Amino acid sequence: MKVQNSLINLTIKALSESVDVNVMEHIANDMIYGYNLHERSGFRDSMAIPNRDAASQIINDIVKAGLYYSFINLLIRIHTEGYKGRKIPVSYLKEIIRDIQKSGYIYDHENKIFVEDPEVRRTRNWGALLHGTEYYLAFLRLDIVGNSKLVRKYPEGVIKKTYSDLRKIVQTAIDKRNGRIWNWEGDGGMVAFYFANKNLLSTYSGMEIINEIFIYNLMECKLDSPLEVRLAVHSGLCEYTEDAEELMKSEPIKKVIEIEAKHTAPNSLTISNTIASSFESSFLSGFNIEQIEPHIKYCTYSVGLE
């Protein structure tokens, strides 16, 4: 994530005017383990580092490490909650937040982090998830039933149009709930959710996709028989990485793929017991219960003509 020079300079000014060098180095250590200001700045250990020089070194190191927005999150907490028992008002914080918003990011109060403004850009990590850090996410898996047979049976133009229509249905359902496509192949994909009530939003997205495909099959589908998909939702801890292949190896993603492949009927959505346990029983009244093991139940959702 590129940070504008004007924003870097304003943050340097804010840090240098808000705390002394000792506190600066403690804050830097919270962001970068083992941070040594004298070593990084080139000042001898016996020399005092001027506030401005210290702030400049720290902020530039934070930016190079890709931690700028995480650092501003920390400054917001310091401003509102204090630091190590001390009240520390951070200068120019409103101006910094305003300029960050102008650059296309918004502050998510629930998770206390800056994320992309979806009206400006949409990337896989919402502009917020850090490489090598674990996050609790919900995943929606979608797979087209009988993809190979469909590709062999129908002309390329029909298949492209049908799969493009499906992609639009999925994109519409997840965009309104701030989901991100992590993987999309010819026969399906993987969607991640991180914000707000991620279990509920991923499930609502899956339900909407099932509903829209039902209508699509009645009104628009060009195939001889209805387009069939299987969907599943599961959540869990996942270590974020920029490597798309490595992302797919995380345990919750492997689990949601298993649920979709082994426990989901065509044109149905299956939610794991992890997801279902976070809902009120009244919400699940529209789902069918499938007993998998003595202590594991999956819930399935589908629609059809009476």
pLDDT digits (tens, 9 = 90+) for 164-187: 999 999 999 999 999 999 999 878
DSSP-based helix, strand, coil % in the chain, nearest 5: 45, 20, 35
Dihedral of CA atoms 249, 171, 179, 257 in degrees, nearest 10, equals -30
Per-residue pLDDT band at 34 (split at 50, 70, 90) = very high
CA 31/CA 209 separation, integer angstroms: 41
Give pLDDT, residue 1.
Answer: 64
Q: Is 117 left (phi over 0), alpha (psi -120 to 50) or beta?
A: beta
Contact indicator for 215, 201 with CB cutoff of 8 Å? no
Give the DSSP letter of residue 283: G
CA 123/CA 129 separation, integer angstroms: 10
| Mean pLDDT, rounded, for 113-137 | 89
pTM: 0.83
Per-residue pLDDT band at 35 (split at 50, 70, 90) = very high
Mark out the alpha helices in 194-305 (DSSP H runs). 198-219, 244-247, 251-263, 273-276
Question: Which helix H or strand E contains 175, and what residues bound it?
Answer: helix 156-175
Nearest to 96 by CA among 12, 178, 167: 12
CA 45/CA 47 separation, integer angstroms: 5
Give pLDDT, residue 113.
Answer: 84
pLDDT tens digits, one per residue of 38-79:
999 999 988 999 999 999 999 999 999 989 999 999 999 999
Question: Which helix H or strand E contains 301, and what residues bound it?
Answer: strand 296-302
Q: State the burial class of residue 11 (Cβ atoms within 10 Å of its Cβ: 0-12, 13-18, 19+).
A: buried
Give pLDDT, residue 292.
Answer: 79
Question: Which helix H or strand E contains 137, and what residues bound it?
Answer: strand 134-144
Give pLDDT, residue 239.
Answer: 95
pLDDT tens digits, one per residue of 132-142:
999 999 999 99
| Token representation of residue 226 | 């209805």
Mean pLDDT, the chain, rounded, equals 93
